[in-house]
Structure 1
């Protein structure tokens, strides 16, 4: 059954439902590389580990060698019950963006739920992912295992519309390489067709320009497998660049 599902997904990805606009020039998109990852690149720094250790009342964590900070932080977390450790980590990564009661609820839900996929506030997804990632490692799999994707794409053609606010256009371009059954297509129909796409910046956890010239650009992208895993089937395809509509000046 699983193999059949993969075949169905792949067949749809090979003949994706296009977001077409005849007045727009077509670009060529290639998926250069793709990998599934369980840790976000540079998700935790030495400073983060020191701050967490301080929040756990660890004496003089700044004296710990850099190479030992992560291990010491995880060992200290396991001195607490899983829910207590989760609250410590969530308090740190959320940093005042939720109420105490909301974090308390999340500290229980994070034990079984993939909050980086399911929590309604998309802007918190990367931090919920890295929190779960650290807890998963500290507790040897007691928490859900993170599932993210890291890939590079090249875009060739008229790329003048890909400016500093490229995320909405990039998500639309990626959606054109996926089937009409993909989650993004089903949840963001209006935005993909050209409506304001505020969520795009939170779907793309990392969008970094690797190289750019007059007619081509290469992007390095990290996101949740929940949103963009299907792009691995795309290989190469044509698409249109559809930027967000410009905001009208207030009168």
Structure 2
């Protein structure tokens, strides 16, 4: 168990995941809608053209097209058909039981929300940066588990993380941590401190906005510790 000092340096709510709809994504989606020569569209106009093309379809049909692109290889046709209806009213990026699909369900909903002027739920996520002082070697491999344990220390015992993952927080395995942290990037690093930029669901980590600075205990997952010793 290692001791850390933590500062929350910034916090914001976001409605679009960084890098979620790149040029290649938009061109592929236009191709899926049989748009002629999408590669000839100016970069600045690609997203707008993609959203206009989606509105040529009924909302459920448009949802099916987007979901077929973002998650088709991971779900059955029947499951995607169900989701194309559920996505109209449900926050699937929070409620769907398969956590690893949440970021793609988020970006799917976000694009559909923008295209259809709010007929879909508004997607909300959080982006924040933290500075962590202590034994930073704990983050060398599989950093997500020790980071989520640190973040949990800055939130109340009533938070979802504590209520749903109390065993994982205290135990040797926290495989869900990689799905809780949608994006994790190192901003800066020194011998005893590291600053992370983190994107996650409001559902999981909004409460960290109430933290300013705090102390935390954390540990790496057992497998990560064993790998580091080899």
Q: TM-score range by the shorter chain?
A: over 0.9
d(CA) in 1 for partners of 2:157, 2:218? 18
TM-score, normalising length: structure 2: 0.96
- Runs of 4+ that moved beyond 6 A: none
Measured against aligned partners, the alpha-carbon deviations of 1:122-178 in whole angstroms (never above 9, x if no partner) come to: 000000000000000000000000110000000012222111310000000000000
1:218 aligns with 2:198: no
Measured against aligned partners, the alpha-carbon deviations of 1:9-42 in whole angstroms (never above 9, x if no partner) come to: xxxxxxxxxxxxxxx3421000000000111111
Indicate if the aligned counterparts of 2:2 and 2:219 stay in contact, CA closer than 8 A: no
What SS class does the counterpart of residue 35 from structure 1 fall into?
strand
What SS class does the counterpart of residue 153 from structure 1 fall into?
strand
| Counterpart in the other structure of 1:123 | 100
1:51 aligns with 2:18: no
d(CA) in 2 for partners of 1:242, 1:170? 9
| Counterpart in the other structure of 1:181 | 158
d(CA) in 1 for partners of 2:121, 2:183? 22
What SS class does the counterpart of residue 201 from structure 1 fall into?
helix
| Counterpart in the other structure of 1:104 | 81
Deviation at 1:240, TM superposition (A): 1.4
Aligned length: 226
Measured against aligned partners, the alpha-carbon deviations of 1:42-99 in whole angstroms (never above 9, x if no partner) come to: 1101111111111111111111111111000000000000000000000000031100
Residue 87 of structure 1 is aligned with which of 36, 61, 64?
64
d(CA) in 2 for partners of 1:208, 1:164? 13
Choose 1 or 2 for highest CA Rg: 1
Residue 49 of structure 2 is aligned with which of 64, 67, 72?
72
d(CA) in 2 for partners of 1:164, 1:196? 14
1:202 aligns with 2:189: no
User: Comparing 225-234 with 162-171, which one deviates more in the overlay?
Assistant: 162-171
1:165 aligns with 2:146: no
| Counterpart in the other structure of 1:139 | 116
Indicate if the aligned counterparts of 1:116 and 1:129 stay in contact, CA closer than 8 A: yes
What SS class does the counterpart of residue 141 from structure 2 fall into?
coil
Measured against aligned partners, the alpha-carbon deviations of 1:226-245 in whole angstroms (never above 9, x if no partner) come to: 00000001100001121111
d(CA) in 1 for partners of 2:139, 2:53? 45
